[in-house]
Amino acid sequence: MRTISRAPLSGRYLSFAEREEIALLNARGCGVREIASQVCRSPSTISRELRRNAATRSGSLEYRATSAQWHADRRAKRPKVTKLAANDALREYVQECLAGIVTTPSGTAIRGPDVPWVGRRHGRRKDRRWATSWSPEQISNRLRLDFPDDESMRISHEAIYQALYVQGRGALRRELTACLRTGRALRVPRERARTRGKQFVTPEIMISERPAEVEDRAVPGHWEGDLILGLDSSAIGTLVERTTRFTMLLHLPRLTGHGDTPRTKNGPALAGHGAEAVRDAIAAAARELPEHLRRSLTWDQGAEMSQHVQLRIDTGIAIYFCDPQSPWQRGTNENTNGLLRQYFPKGTDLSKHSADDLAAVAATLNSRPRKTLSWRTPTEALDDLLPSVRQDTVATTP
């Protein structure tokens, strides 16, 4: 038995002195919450310590500081043999749930497309491997139903993810990441997603500061916008009016030199949907609208809107931005983009469509009856609102 260290590894873990104090208080018959108050720890920490690190040789659970410290040191040893590496039955179950063969209702196996694993996320519009593809969370929770009396058949979903993503954790082959629904070969840290906000977005132009009249859709003139992307960085801009669902499409042609010269970091946006190109396209579309239909525009935090200050000066439209990774805050625009994919499918070159083509598609969409408009078309709904808006804005003379 190695010498017990009285100094804790960090303040996160209980020290030997704290364990001695817990043992004394527990021997006096103090409750968990009273002990937690005395040693300034969480009650759950004390409860777990008394349960996991108690001495059991006497046939009962007796808490002693030396035995508890020995248990803690034993658990802290690294490296550990993982559950999947030590338990063959558990490993086979997890692999079958991840990479099992797809079968028909009659039990006939279907291999699906033959897709070699290339050690990275699946490519654009590429066939995916067909497999059972249960998620690690589904596997972890299903084990309790399939093996209710076998405690050795237990594993957390995080342990499965680590076996797939972390080198050296072994047990599961890395190519099994192709069976995950995302197809990622690497994990994306959550902190990276939380800090994805753009520098040009400030608190006063976030969607939380948008006027309340935008939410009830009673007043026309509030728009939502986005880009739909295609092959080779081609894009089309979309603008949708919230009240009438009237749609306008922005033509974003590629600039001269695109595809002829190598891409340069921080160089000009030759793909056609850079900040200046999007700003000019929105401004040109806004000039075709009467002033009372240019109240606000809600966009996501894409870099193409970094020129929003100049856009507001040019058009008088108030610009607001959604929260990161919150497309539902522009639900009207997201729904319209889904309808537009009938004409502009994913994985196709959108730069081949001219401005006349976009105008024709927009007119087609605006003349389609919509259930949310009581089966009127967006064009009819907009025409019905225009007279009333004009009357409200005309100044009266005595």
Instruction: Give 351's DSSP letter.
Output: G
Q: Which domains does the chain have, with CATH numbers?
A: 16-76 (no CATH), 83-187 (no CATH), 203-393 (3.30.420.10)
pLDDT digits (tens, 9 = 90+) for 344-378: 998 888 989 989 999 999 999 999 999 999 999 99
* Cα–Cα distance for residue pair 284/305, rounded to 1 Å: 15
This prediction has a pTM of 0.55
SS3 of 166-191: CCCCCCCCHHHHHHCCCCCCCCCCHH
* Cα–Cα distance for residue pair 124/122, rounded to 1 Å: 7
* Cα–Cα distance for residue pair 373/361, rounded to 1 Å: 20
* Cα–Cα distance for residue pair 222/229, rounded to 1 Å: 23
For residue 205, is pLDDT > 60? yes
pLDDT digits (tens, 9 = 90+) for 231-287: 888 999 999 999 999 999 999 998 877 766 766 666 677 788 889 999 999 999 999
pLDDT given at position 187? 73
pLDDT digits (tens, 9 = 90+) for 104-157: 778 888 877 777 776 665 555 567 778 888 889 999 999 999 999 999 999 999
Cis peptide bond N-terminal to 324, omega within 30: no
Both tokens of 120, joined, read 């990275």
Both tokens of 59, joined, read 């046939």
* Cα–Cα distance for residue pair 210/202, rounded to 1 Å: 13
The dihedral region occupied by 168, where left means phi > 0, alpha psi between -120 and 50, and beta the remainder, is left
pLDDT given at position 193? 54
pLDDT digits (tens, 9 = 90+) for 70-96: 888 888 887 778 888 889 999 999 999
Looking at the DSSP bridge assignments, the partners of residue 299 are: 321
* Cα–Cα distance for residue pair 114/301, rounded to 1 Å: 38
Contact (CB, 8 A) for 302 and 252:
no
pLDDT given at position 330? 92
For residue 1, is pLDDT > 50? no
Both tokens of 345, joined, read 């499918």
Both tokens of 118, joined, read 């290339």
